Amino acid sequence: MSTTSAPYGFRPSFHNSGQIRPKAYTIATGYAATIFSGDPVKLVSTGTIQLGSSDGTRTGTTDGITLLGIFAGVEYNDASGKPTISPFWPASTTGTEIVAYVYDDPETLYDVQYANPGTPGTTSVQVDVGAQADWRVASPGGSTSTGISSTYLTALVATSGQFQITGSAYLVTDSLTDAYVSMTVRLNEAAYKAPVNAI
């Protein structure tokens, strides 16, 4: 996997308390973008969540967008009134009693695939610990079979990024010089915490 691009979104992996729990939010009925488990999301002025891009779609940009957290699935009653539990939000779904789960604690750490920005085989991503990056708005963005996101961490940014790299993923056997490495990150441009400047 470490030499192959196989992104899996942002996967919660650690919290100092030992507890990693999502919080309940909601999605507007008919919201037209698919959200997969592991996708970054933002909170908008209506009190609902959307994809964490400039316009809440997969064609939007991510630079400077404050994130609420990472999507963890949804439950709702569909148009016929049938209760539905899903690891992803299907685009343009009409529903009621919509409960969307989000890992929103800014102290939660996540594992994510990161493309080595140096020369794979020679450049170690260890030098990127402490640096910051944004997420890649991939399209279609994930699997409707598993509900898992296919987003990943993009190239480093010079000032303030949505995520800060804190190290290589624990118990993952990637070489730090591989082309694709699983790294651990934290939310930086977060709704519930002030960001830090890039190192």
pLDDT one-digit tens code per residue, 83-117: 999 999 999 999 999 999 999 999 999 999 998 98
Confidence check: pLDDT of 188 > 70: yes
Confidence check: pLDDT of 123 > 70: yes
Categorize the per-residue pLDDT at 199 as very low, low, confident or very high, splitting at 50, 70 and 90. Answer: low
Report the pLDDT value the prediction gives residue 155, as an integer from 0 to 100: 81
Residue range 75-89: mean pLDDT, rounded: 97
Report the pLDDT value the prediction gives residue 10, as an integer from 0 to 100: 97
Residue range 38-53: mean pLDDT, rounded: 97
Report the pLDDT value the prediction gives residue 174, as an integer from 0 to 100: 82
Confidence check: pLDDT of 197 > 90: no
Confidence check: pLDDT of 190 > 70: yes
- Report DSSP letters for the chain, one per residue: -TTS------EEEE-TTS----EEE---TT--S-EEBT-EEEE-TTS-EEESSTTSSTTS--TTPPB-EEEEEEEEE-TTS-EEEESEEPTT---EEEEEEEE--TT-EEEEEEE-SS-TTT--GGGGTT-EEEEP--SS-B-TTT-BB---EEEEESS--SEEEEEEPTT----TTSSEEEEEEEESSBTTB------
pLDDT one-digit tens code per residue, 137-147: 877 899 999 99
Residue range 159-182: mean pLDDT, rounded: 90
More confident residue, 14 or 198: 14
**Total-model pTM:** 0.95
Report the pLDDT value the prediction gives residue 187, as an integer from 0 to 100: 96
Confidence check: pLDDT of 1 > 50: no
